[in-house]
Amino acid sequence: MDVWIERFDRVLTIIRPKAYNVIARIIIGLGIALVAESQLNILQAVIVASYESMFGYSEVLRKFIEGSSNPWIGLFLIVIGLIYHYFMTVGKQQIDLRLSQIPQKPILDLKLLNADLVPYENHSLNLRGGIVILPKDEIPEYKITYNIPQMSALNTFRNISLNPKFYKERSDFLKVWGGAELISLKLSNLTSVLATGVKIEITLPRMKGVSADNTKDDFPKYPAEKSTSQFSMPTYHNKPVHYDIKRSHNDKEYNFTWEVNDIQANTTSISDTYIFLRVEQNVDMEIKIFCDQYVFPVTEIYRVTKSKLSHSISISEITGNKESFDELVDKFIMDGYIQRVAIKRFQEYEHENQEVIPRS
């Protein structure tokens, strides 16, 4: 009902010019004139006399004038004028009063951001980088061999500190992150109305070639060349990890929920959890925005498009030096995102070191 009232108010606003009183008076005045004329026949007599004085007697004109002497047209115009005036005055006041009693609804604007915090436009989510296809050949272990006679013990000692799965982890790293993206959510309240009970639900089909999960890490962990020593002390994290975007997957769908709760007027909230997303085929992602002020949730559909770049990687590329592997990472993983973040963090580290401020 409230929707129809709002639509009716827009119609009244369109047909209600500043001179609406003048328009109503003209319509009513014309109707009264037609009613009076139909009874007095003054205008008809003047028309007939003027015409016949110039052109002579006209039976056709007399019959037409006699047939048009109908008061109902004038009455109809009077009624229309009164109705128009009523809606422009009393009706508009009642509509405005009813609208003022309707609780205002906040306008919530949701943006999906890539790892560089750049929003996607036109409900189209085009994944960056490129999909990496692993070689069919077995990936060798990582070890260093010194070609020195009778020095096998040196090779064994040297390789103790190395990660034998280094090359395998490199290939897995490219496989997992190639063509993938870290998605965060940005929700803005564009109105001066408090939005309560706000919740975002995201649904993706769980099918072959589609992978999704929630994560707190915005920097993919690079494969380590050195192995963790068995004598090193394990690190314990007593503080539990809190995900503001929670997952509840089933065998058919990936489901994510971001419970924003309340959003103050004209403010913005950004998730601190990311959605890892990787697809090898184009899929639709459904997003629903719930709010206590909404009768029904707002539903949006994003088209997730896989990366256009695809590459079958070779053993030689996996076992290459650090520089060549970094080039592969920049090319296939979020268009150089890892390098950009590494440079940014290094600059922040240098800045903190040169600061001369009290530290706790």
Residue-wise pLDDT for 242-273, tens only, equals 899 999 999 999 999 999 999 999 999 999 99
- Would you say residue 76 has pLDDT above 80? no
pTM exceeding the 0.75 threshold for the entire prediction: no
Q: Collapse the DSSP code of 282 into the 3-class scheme (helix H, G, I; strand E, B; otherwise coil) and give the result.
A: coil
Residue 296, amino acid? F
What's the confidence (pLDDT) of residue 69?
54
More confidently predicted of 286 and 80: 286
Reported as a single tens digit per residue, the pLDDT across 97-143 is: 776 666 678 999 999 999 999 999 999 999 999 999 998 888 888 87
Quick one: average pLDDT of 63-71? Answer: 59
Fold of 108-223+243-353: Immunoglobulin-like (2.60.40)
Q: Are 245 and 185 in contact (CB under 8 A)?
A: yes
What's the confidence (pLDDT) of residue 281?
95
What's the confidence (pLDDT) of residue 353?
81
Burial class (CB in 10 A: 0-12, 13-18, 19+), 335: middle
Residue 101 to residue 87: CA distance in whole angstroms: 19
Q: Which two tokens stand for residue 57?
A: 């007697």
Residue 186 to residue 119: CA distance in whole angstroms: 9
Quick one: average pLDDT of 280-299? Answer: 95
Quick one: average pLDDT of 314-319? Answer: 92
What's the confidence (pLDDT) of residue 157?
46
Burial class (CB in 10 A: 0-12, 13-18, 19+), 254: buried
More confidently predicted of 283 and 357: 283
Reported as a single tens digit per residue, the pLDDT across 42-54 is: 566 666 677 667 7
Q: Which two tokens stand for residue 36?
A: 């009076």
What's the confidence (pLDDT) of residue 154?
47
Crossing angle of helices 337-354 and 322-332, in 10° steps, is 110
- Provide the pLDDT confidence category of residue 349 given band limits of 50, 70 and 90: confident
Q: Are 225 and 326 in contact (CB under 8 A)?
A: no
Residue 293 to residues 102, 186, 199, 267, 297, Cα–Cα distance (Å)? 11, 19, 12, 17, 10
What's the confidence (pLDDT) of residue 92?
72
More confidently predicted of 152 and 170: 170
Residue 126 to residue 53: CA distance in whole angstroms: 83
Q: Which two tokens stand for residue 125?
A: 């989510």
- Would you say residue 57 has pLDDT above 50? yes
More confidently predicted of 95 and 140: 140
Instruction: Report which of 39, 30, 12, 37 is spatially closest to residue 81, judged by C-alpha positions.
Output: 30
